[in-house]
């Protein structure tokens, strides 16, 4: 796996006076009063931003927050400005949009070493569609592109993939490079036995990840919404759980490939189901093969968690990509949390996916935190 050119390869001659578009991941949790409850992602972005500031760049920060459907005030980035300014030691300016004349004017006016935060890029539906015209509008704001948002780099969106087509050089930030280096080491030379935990809502978004890992791991654990496609492919009743009907044959083929390669592919034996997709839904635990009509699976059940933990206790390298359940709702976050905490801390290498377990990582002993990266 080749790593991207790093921001460290750019010196003052490359950066001074240049407009640098930096895709960061500032998708931090906020409470009901819009106070930041965990600033880990902001602090992780600081080294790259400061490097660019110190080399005389005009730093343009782009990020998303939450899952807005169009312009949604509660997902505005305004609450992030005070903490970001405090950590950087400068007053960060905030735009009311991420494209348009007002943004172009702000970019033209702010000085070398300054920082401008664009409004939530996902307020525009074109972001997640990787729309070429939208990508061009973002790219027109800058001269150089830096991607330091490892947690979203796997998604081909306008701000992560589209912009890079129109800006050269395009390089990795410090956080991106660090985690790519860690991942390369973990996958290329893993301490055996080697396991992977793959979660997420859709198997279609994880095909490449799963197929790649089948050639490397000893144990593959699947969780999240994707498991119901696998269950249905096996003839199970899945109620109203999320299923990709056009991926049933794919699910079957992945199971067969795992068997052929001698990989132990584990699905939860039981699931936590709900009568609606909501934090206050009624819930109960049932066998994975017995989900009643009108109910949907939203998390891994206790027996499944126990089985996963027993399997992982034998491993020395674990890669984790994606959540085991609907972790946004506390009632259905147990699989994601317990799968982490219930493991033997003798594990040598940990890589975590999509930034979804940052808050869990912070609660680990410092001796283990140093061996953690995100995939």
| Tokens (6 digits) for 329 | 């709702």
pLDDT of residue 348: 39
Across the chain, mean pLDDT equals 86
Q: Which residue has the higher pLDDT, 20 or 314?
A: 20
pLDDT of residue 289: 94
The secondary structure of 287-345 as a DSSP string is ETTEEPTT-EEEEE-HHHHHHHHHHHTT-SEEEEES-SS-TTSGGG-HHHHHHHHTS-T
Q: Which helix (H) or strand (E) holds 266?
A: strand 264-266
pLDDT category, 100, cuts 50, 70, 90? very high
Identify the bridge partners of residue 172 per DSSP, sorted by sequence position: 6, 147
pLDDT category, 48, cuts 50, 70, 90? very high
Q: Cis ω on the peptide bond leading into residue 100 (within 30° of 0)?
A: no
What are the φ and ψ backbone dihedral angles of 282, each rounded to 5 degrees? -70, 140
* Cβ pair 280, 330 in contact under 8 A: no
Q: Give the dihedral of Cα atoms 182, 187, 192, 197; nearest 10 deg.
A: 90
- Tell me the pLDDT tens digit for each residue of 324-340: 888 778 888 777 775 45
pLDDT of residue 165: 93
Q: pTM of the prediction?
A: 0.67
pLDDT over threshold 50, residue 344? no
Range of weakest confidence among 3-12, 72-81, 95-104, 294-303: 3-12
Hey, is 94 helix, strand or coil?
Answer: strand
* All domains of the chain in start order, with CATH: 7-174 (3.40.50.1260), 190-374 (3.40.50.1260)
Torsion sign, CA atoms 284, 290, 294, 296: positive
Q: Which residue has the higher pLDDT, 19 or 200?
A: 19
The secondary structure of 24-40 as a DSSP string is ------B-TT--BS--H
Q: Which residue has the higher pLDDT, 79 or 337?
A: 79
- Tell me the pLDDT tens digit for each residue of 232-275: 999 999 999 999 999 999 999 999 999 999 999 999 999 999 99
pLDDT over threshold 60, residue 374? no
Q: Cis ω on the peptide bond leading into residue 193 (within 30° of 0)?
A: yes
pLDDT category, 188, cuts 50, 70, 90? confident
pLDDT of residue 144: 96
Strand order through the sheet with 170-172: 93-94, 115-117, 58-62, 19-23, 144-147, 170-172
* Cβ pair 136, 115 in contact under 8 A: no
pLDDT category, 186, cuts 50, 70, 90? low
Q: What is the number of residues in the chain? A: 375
- Give the pLDDT mean for 120-133: 96
pLDDT over threshold 80, residue 187? no
If phi > 0 it is left, if psi is from -120 to 50 it is alpha, else beta; for residue 153 that is: alpha
């Amino acid at each position: 796996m080749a790593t991207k050119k790093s921001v460290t390869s750019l010196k003052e001659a490359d950066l001074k006076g240049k407009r640098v578009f930096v895709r960061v991941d500032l998708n931090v949790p906020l409470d009901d009063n819009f106070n930041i409850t965990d600033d880990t992602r902001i602090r992780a972005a600081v080294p790259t931003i400061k490097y660019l500031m110190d080399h005389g760049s005009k730093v343009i920060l782009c990020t998303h927050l939450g899952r807005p459907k169009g312009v949604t005030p509660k997902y505005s980035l305004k609450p992030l400005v005070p903490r970001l300014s405090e950590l950087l030691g400068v007053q960060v300016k905030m735009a009311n949009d991420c494209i348009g004349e007002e943004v172009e004017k702000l970019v033209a006016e702010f000085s070398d070493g300054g920082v401008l935060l664009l409004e939530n890029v996902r307020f525009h539906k074109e972001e997640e569609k990787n729309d070429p015209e939208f990508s061009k509008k973002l790219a027109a704001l800058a001269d150089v592109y830096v991607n330091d948002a490892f947690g979203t780099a796997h998604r081909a969106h306008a701000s992560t993939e589209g912009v890079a087509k129109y800006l050269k050089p395009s390089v990795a930030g410090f956080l991106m490079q660090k985690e790519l280096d860690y991942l390369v080491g973990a996958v290329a030379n893993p301490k055996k036995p080697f396991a992977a935990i793959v979660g997420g809502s859709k198997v279609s978004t994880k095909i490449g990840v799963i197929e790649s890992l089948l050639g490397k791991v000893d144990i593959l654990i699947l969780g999240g919404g994707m498991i119901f496609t696998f269950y249905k492919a096996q003839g199970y009743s899945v109620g109203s759980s999320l299923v990709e009907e056009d991926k049933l044959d794919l699910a079957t083929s992945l199971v067969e490939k795992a068997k052929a390669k001698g990989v132990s592919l584990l699905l939860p034996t039981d699931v936590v189901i709900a009568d609606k997709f909501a934090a206050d839904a009624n819930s109960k635990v049932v066998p994975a093969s017995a989900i009643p009509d009108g109910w949907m699976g939203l998390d891994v059940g206790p027996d499944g968690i126990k089985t996963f933990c027993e399997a992982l206790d034998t491993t020395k390298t674990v890669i984790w990509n994606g959540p085991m359940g609907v972790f946004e709702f506390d009632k259905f976050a147990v699989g994601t949390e317990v799968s982490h905490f219930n493991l033997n801390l003798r594990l040598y290498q940990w890589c975590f996916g999509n930034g979804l377990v940052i808050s869990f990582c912070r609660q680990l002993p410092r001796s283990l935190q140093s061996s953690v990266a995100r995939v």
